[in-house]
Amino acid sequence: AEAEVKKEREKAIAVDAALAKEEAEVKKEQEKARAAGDAAPAAKAEEGKAQEAADAEKDKEAAVAEKEQHGSSGAHGAGGTGQVGILSAFQATKGIKFLPFQKVLDFGRIPRSSEGLTVQAAELEEDTFKIFVSHRWLSPWWPGAGFQPPKLDHRPDGKDEGHPDRTGHPKYELLVAALLRMQADGWIPKDIDKVALWIDFACIDQDGKNPADELNESMIRLVGLCDMVVTPVVDDEWPDGEDWEGFKSRSDMEGAVGGVAEGYKAKAWKEYWKRAWCLLEMLYAANVPFSLELVEERGFGGDLLGFVRDKSVRPHALFGTREFKLEEAPLLLAPLKDDVLATNDPSKGQLTSENDRSTIERHVRELLITNLVRMREIPRAVSEYG
């Protein structure tokens, strides 16, 4: 275990050095571009307004490039720059896309990546409130589930492949309702243009060779950029399902042994709560660094701000058919740490393919060891993972 901890520290130092070199090269190239841009209008001033317009466009492009290089406080403000806090803002946002909330509203359903509605993380304003949508697709359904989803829509290209929603777009409806409710309650910014989402179907290339690999490579950076996690839960059995008996009120669920996570009786949530990949996303949300210093600047307010100050962790909200029909606010989940983690370890969760087990175990181990190293508790890292 000592060797593994040492290896993680050496890896961090090596990555930091490599990124510093990369950013220096990018900056050098941008300085050359600016020099060339400054000389051009001076030499061709007589060309008048047409040349001035061209220069203005060039300045705009340089500004975007500068923002990509240096990032913004948005890269730090929602939990550090990812990669155990050692990456620059430039590297933290590189390759990560978000979906502006306004575009979600305009589109009327969860868009696929091929719709081209996403924007690069570096292009977002510094105070944009970023939400990670953690969910289970309604199709395909994992083998062994005790129930099946209703008929599903086909993909836009006609292929009978997976989709996060189904006919009627109930998950989309829940997601939009959750965000609008949080805005109304002052939990998140009321300005729609200040809110953006990350949802796999839209933000990962669904036509790529292996979309899951793309997420694996960027998970820690992605979660580090996000201010909160939201899970929409489509529940066809509310309020008549047998499992809901005795747990229909908010106080019933919050007072259950294990809290909301155990007291929420929707079958779709129960499946989410068992799945290794879903638990892994919860683990990242609770353990990737989160900055309390910038929560008000980012737009946290109301009960959400109180929760964050109390728990000192990135919040995870659950919003299902029950909350939608009762017109209630989302439920906030206890972070996947300590005792909650001990009984809900992602590495012991259910998987469609057991081949993924070693990947899950590696993610869990590396994240928890890195957290201890970050807190300078190396002896504890050696003791617990030796």
Q: How many domains does the chain have?
A: 1
HEC assignment per residue over the chain: CHHHHHHHHHHHHHHHHHHHHHHHHHHHHHHHHHHHHHHHHHHCHHHCHHHHHHHHHHHHHHHHHHHHHHCCHHHHHCCCCCHHHCCCHHHHHCCCEEEEHHHHHHHCCCCCHHHCCCEEHHHCCCCCEEEEECCCCCECCCCCCCCCCCCCCCCCCCCCCCECCCCCCHHHHHHHHHHHHHHHCCCCCCCHHHEEEECHHHHCCCCCCCHHHHHHHHHHHHHHHCCEEEEEECCCCCCCCHHHCCCCCHHHHHCCCCCHHHHCCCHHHHHHHHEHHHHHHHHHHHHCCCCCCCHHHHCCCHHHHHHHHHHCCCCEEEEEHHHHHHCCCCEECCCCCHHHHHHCCHHHCECCCHHHHHHHHHHHHHHHHHHHHHCCCHHHHHHHHC
Q: In this predicted model, what pLDDT tens digit does every residue of 265-324 receive, in sequence order?
A: 999 999 999 999 999 999 999 988 888 888 888 999 999 999 999 999 999 999 999 999
82 lies in some domain: no
Residue-range definition of the domain harbouring residue 267: 87-146+155-384
- pLDDT for 141 equals 47
Its pTM stands at: 0.74
Instruction: List pLDDT tens digits, range 131-185.
Output: 999 998 887 644 443 434 444 444 444 445 678 888 788 999 999 999 999 999 9
Spans of the chain, pLDDT less than 70: 1-91, 140-161, 386
Is residue 281 one of the residues assigned to a domain? Answer: yes
Predicted confidence at residue 48, as pLDDT, reads: 47
The pLDDT assigned to 172 comes to 95
- On whether residue 51 sits in a domain, the answer given is no
In this predicted structure, what is the pLDDT of residue 316? 97
The answer to whether position 30 is within a domain reads no
163 inside domain: yes
Q: What confidence score (pLDDT) does residue 258 get? A: 86
Question: Is 317 part of any domain?
Answer: yes
